[in-house]
A = this chain, B = another copy of it.
Amino acid sequence: MIPDALFHPKSVAVIGASRKPEKVGHGVFANLIQAGFPGEIHGVNPGGGEVLGRPVHSSIEGIPGAVDLGVFVVPPPAILDGIPRLAEKGMRAAIVISAGFKETGGEGVGLERALRDTARKSKVRVLGPNCLGLINTHARLNASFAAGTPPAGAISFFSQSGALCTAILDWAIGENVGFSKFISLGNKADISESDVMEYLSNDPETRVILGYVESIDDGVRFLRASREVTAKKPVILVKAGSTAAGARAASSHTGSLAGSDRAYAAAFRQGGILRAETVEDLFDFALGFALQPMPRGDRLLILTNAGGPGILAADTAEKLGIPLAEISAELRGRLSGKLPPTASLGNPVDVIGDAQADRYREVLSAIREDPSIDAVLVLLTPQAMTEPEGTARAAVQALAGSGKTAFASFLGEASVKEARKILSSGGIPNYLVPERAVRSLHAMLRYRRSQGGVPQDTPDLAGIRREEARSGIGAALAEGKKTLGEEESRSILEAYGFRFPRHVLAQTSREAVQAFEEMRRPVALKIVSPDILHKTDVGGVRLNLSDPESVARAFVEITSSARRMVPSAWVAGVSVQEMVTGGREVILGMSRDPQFGPLLMFGLGGINVEVLKDVSFRVAPLSRRDAVEMIREIRAYPLLSSFRGSAPSDEGGIVDGLLRISRLSMDVPEIQELDLNPVLVMTKGRGIQAIDCRMTIAEAKP
C-alpha cells in the first residue's frame, strides 16, 4: 500500500534544495513553490541560507515539526543516511530523484539494495531512485524537476522512462491536456507499477490510468493487481521492448513459440488491460475515457459536412466491428424538414458542404434523446460557408449531459484552431483525423466488454494426485535427468488426470506381438529412448498395425532404424500402444516465462502449430474463462465447433485439460516446458485423450 503522504503530503522536505538554478535540487524546490503547494515546504542544504527567498535548514534535524514526504536530490550515501533521520520526523514516503544506483551497474546495485533495506527498516515507501519525481495537480504538488506543471484533469500517467515523462509533460502543457497524477517510476527499487495502479484505482481524482512499461519484475503480482484495478477503472499501457527479447533456447514446440511478448500480451489480456501500440494511441484512448461517459451500447452515429471523411470514419468503424446506428423513420422524418433535400439522412448523416452551425445543431438536438444511438462522432471540414466555432459550440451544448459518448474530428489546422479549443474545454475530445476518434471509441467498447461476462473463477479439479507427481519429478531430477520422454512424462500427467491409450513396453518383437494380441485392436509402435526426442525423425514410429506379422516387422525396423540413425542412444524398448482413432489433434503446452511464470499454449496440431503458428497463450493460474477464451481465439477454432456437419468437438474436455496443466505447472515448479502433442479431442461429451508427451525439468528457482 502506498501511503497517502506520497500524493497528499502535509509537509514536504527537499533534501538537497540548491541555490544554483542549473541544479536539479533547485528545480524541484522551485516547482514545489511555483505550483502553489498549500502545505509546508522545507529545504535542507548543509550550507543553509536562503533559496528562492525561503530559508533552508542546514540539517534534517533543523526542520521544525513533522515531515511526511521527503524528496532526495543528494548523492546516494546522503540518501541512505537521511531516510532514517527523516523517518524519525514522521516521513512515510520518499521520492529519490538522484541517479547513481542500479542503472550504473557495479557498486550502484549494492547501493540500491541498501536503499530498499533502509526504507523497509524505516517503514518508508520509496519512489525511484533515478526518476523525474511526481506531480499531483489536484493537490498542487509538483515534486519533480519537470519544466512546468500540466493543467488538472482526470488522467493519471506513470512511466518507466523519465525522459518520456518530460516529453509528455511538454506536450500536455502545450496542448492543454489535463492530468491528475504524473509518476516517474525510475528504477522501481520499491514502489512498482502494481503499487501505483492499486493506489490510483482508489483515487477519486483519477478516471483512467496510463502507463509506459519496459519490464515488469513480479508478473504474478502484476496480473493479480491488474485484475483488481481494471474491474474499477480502465488501465491503458504501452509495453516497449516488445520484440527485443529475442529467441530463447527451447526444446519444446511451446517453448519455441512462446516469447516474452507472448507472455506480456497474455497477462495484459487476462488482467483486462488495454494495450496501446504507440504513445500516441495511449493518449488518444485516454481522452475518451477521461472526458466522456462510457458508451451505453456500441451504436455509432457519424455526422459530417463532407463525404470523404465520413467514409473514412465508417470504414474504420466497420473494420473494428462497431455498428453504425440505424436512423429510425421517426428521426428521418424530424430531420427531413430541417435539412436541404441534398443532405444525406443515412449514417453518416451528411449535412453537406454549405452547412453552417444551425444544421449541425438541428441534427444533434434531434438525436439527443434517441435511444438507438449510443455514441456520436461529429466531423467537420472547413469549407466556404462552414462555421467551425459555432459548430463546436453547438456540439458541446447538444451533447453535454446527453449520456451519449461524443467525439469530434475537425479537420484542418488554421481554420479550426479556435473550434478545437471550444470542443476541448467543453469536454469533447477532438482528433486530427476521423480514424483516430473511432479507434478511441473502440478502446472504450473493448473496456466495456472486458468488464462483463463470466467471472474469474478458481476452477475445482477432481482426481489430482499432487504428491505422486512431485515425487516422480523429484526422482527424475535426482537421477540427473533433464528431459522426460513419453514413457517418463506419462505417469506425471496421469497423476493430473490425463488419459492415455493402453500401452505396454516391449523389449523383444515377441513381447510386442503378445501385447498386440492382448489388446485385440490395431496398435502403434514407438521407440522408447531418453536420448531420442523426435521419434518420427529417426523412423521410430509406426502407426495402425493390425496383424502380428506387421507388429513383429515394425519392431525390428524401428529398433534398427533408431540404432542406425542415433548409434549412441540407449534404447529402453518399444512402446506398443492401442491406436486411438477419430477426434481432432490439438496441442496443449506450457513453458516458463522469466517474469510471469507458467505460460500455457493451445493450438490445433500439425501444420497449424508448426507452419501457421496459430496458437494462443495465457499465464497460469488459468481461470475457466481464460481457458475458454484461449480455445476460441485461434483462427482454426471453427474446426472445433460443428464444421461441415461434423459433430462438434469436446471443448469442455480441452478446457479441463488446460486447467489441469495450469494446476500442474503451479504445483510442480520443476517442470520447465511441457508438450502434450498430439492430444485427440473426441466429440462433445467424450473428453480428450493424450497420445504423446514430453517435458523438460530443472531444479525450481526459489
Which residues of A line the B interface, CB within 8 A?
Answer: 22, 24, 27, 104, 145, 147, 159-164, 166-175, 212, 214, 238, 240-244, 277-280, 305-309, 311-312, 314-315, 318-319, 342, 353, 381-384, 411-417, 432-433, 435-436, 537, 607, 610-612, 614, 635-636, 638-639, 643-645
Contact = CB atoms under 8 A, between A and B. Distances in A.
Nearest to A611: B638
B611 A164 contact: no
How many copies, total? 2
Nearest to A380: B167
Nearest to A388: B170
B170 A416 contact: yes
Nearest to A173: B414
Contacts of A315: 240-244
A383 B166 contact: yes
A243 B318 contact: yes
Contacts of A643: 607, 611
A538 to B, nearest CB: 12
Looking at A162, A163, A173, A353, the one whose CB has the most chain B CB atoms below 10 A away is A163
A147 B411 contact: no
A306 B164 contact: yes
A144 to B, nearest CB: 11
A382 B413 contact: no
A308 B163 contact: yes
B312 A170 contact: no
Contacts of A212: 308
A314 B175 CA distance: 27
A411 B381 contact: no
Contacts of A319: 242-243
A414 B280 contact: no
Given A305-B163, A315-B240, A411-B170, A636 B611 contact: yes
Contact of A163 (B241, B306, B537, B639): B306
Contacts of A172: 413
Given A170-B414, A174-B412, A279-B433, A383 B312 contact: no
A606 to B, nearest CB: 10
Contact of A308 (B24, B164, B308): B164
A645 B538 CA distance: 12
Contacts of A306: 161-164, 167
6 contacts: A24-B384, A242-B315, A280-B432, A280-B436, A607-B636, A611-B643
A612 B614 CA distance: 10
A614 B613 CA distance: 13
Nearest to A643: B611
B307 A170 contact: no
Contacts of A168: 411-412
Contacts of A238: 312
Contacts of A342: 104
Contact of A435 (B170, B278, B381): B278
A175 B413 contact: yes
A277 to B, nearest CB: 8
Contacts of A639: 607, 611
Contact of A307 (B161, B278, B644): B161
A382 B611 contact: no
